[in-house]
Amino acid sequence: MMRRLLVAAVAALAIAGCATPRGSTPLPGLSAEATANTRLSPEQAALFAKQIERDLAAKGARLAIVFRTGEARDTLPEGISYTHGGFWTYVPISLDDGRVVNGYAVYNLYRGDGKSLPTDRSYLHQDYPIDLALATGMDDVGVIIPTPEMQRRILTIMDSPDYRKLHITPYSLVSNPHDIKYQNCTEFMLDIIAAAAWQTTDMVQIKANLKAHFTPTEVKVSGFDRFFAPIAHKEIKTDDQDGKIVTATYESLVVFMKDNGLLQEAYVLQRAADAPKTQSPQAGG
């Protein structure tokens, strides 16, 4: 009975999970990785990744934020649509054959895999659009394109030591974005956006500004679940919460950026119908 309750608690908290990279083993009940029956095939993932890249390039986005979800949405709490997001930056990419092409590189915060790094710790990692597409379990992604000035400011931070300075290694799946104790992937991006918006890397000041201007998403779980979930899985912490469990999500990030004049566009991009497999996309470009 107790075991079933603990698993249920974890499932209830399976939200903006900042997945371990593809190929690692997902935790029971967590939506951070797609299930085998919903994950895209390599061919579908390659086409979807290229579709996202072309969509962003057509909009002239030098930087965008793209979110995916790992499995069916009916497993997620109400009002939460995506479980992982990363910064996509348009940069020159060196291919294995020595060519250099322009394309998007993806910058993520990932939680530890429980082997090389504990699951309640996180690290920063750069990969590519195909990695996001291979781990998605749904036929859409959520896209945020900041204003051109915000793109410039965020890219400036990412190209400096401040990017890593703003990373908080202790990790919680449901990190409170008003508190400095933990981070998850969406909160990390929120902190970078806040640093760019207010032009400060003082984390205490960033959190004070967010407390005044950012309304997080409430995760509705019972008091019992709140108490026992950290015992079930150590990457779920609640000691940074105050009265209710709140976290940063795609939805709350969109509202914050729109309300503060930081947003150019936010939208959901639906995966196109699969093209014939003879039309395999080329890397980069």
**Strand ordering across the sheet containing 263-270:** 122-127, 100-111, 84-94, 63-68, 140-146, 263-270
> Is residue 105 included in any domain, yes or no?
yes
Tell me 142's DSSP state.
E
> Is residue 281 included in any domain, yes or no?
no
> Is residue 237 included in any domain, yes or no?
yes
> Is residue 35 included in any domain, yes or no?
yes
Of the candidates 153, 144, 148, which has an alpha carbon nearest to the alpha carbon of residue 258? 144
> Is residue 112 included in any domain, yes or no?
yes
> Is residue 60 included in any domain, yes or no?
yes
Per the CB < 8 A criterion, the answer to whether 142 and 76 are in contact is no
- As a residue count, the chain comes to 285
**Count of domains forming the chain:** 1
Range of the domain at 193: 2-270
Per the CB < 8 A criterion, the answer to whether 245 and 33 are in contact is no
> Is residue 95 included in any domain, yes or no?
yes
> Is residue 282 included in any domain, yes or no?
no
Tell me 165's DSSP state.
H
List per-residue pLDDT tens for the chain, 285 residues long: 444 433 444 444 455 457 666 544 333 233 334 344 457 899 999 999 999 999 999 999 999 999 999 877 887 888 789 999 999 999 888 878 888 888 999 999 999 999 999 999 999 999 999 999 999 988 999 999 999 999 999 999 999 999 999 999 999 999 999 999 999 999 999 999 999 999 999 999 999 999 999 999 998 876 656 666 666 678 888 889 988 899 999 999 999 999 999 999 999 999 998 744 333 333 333
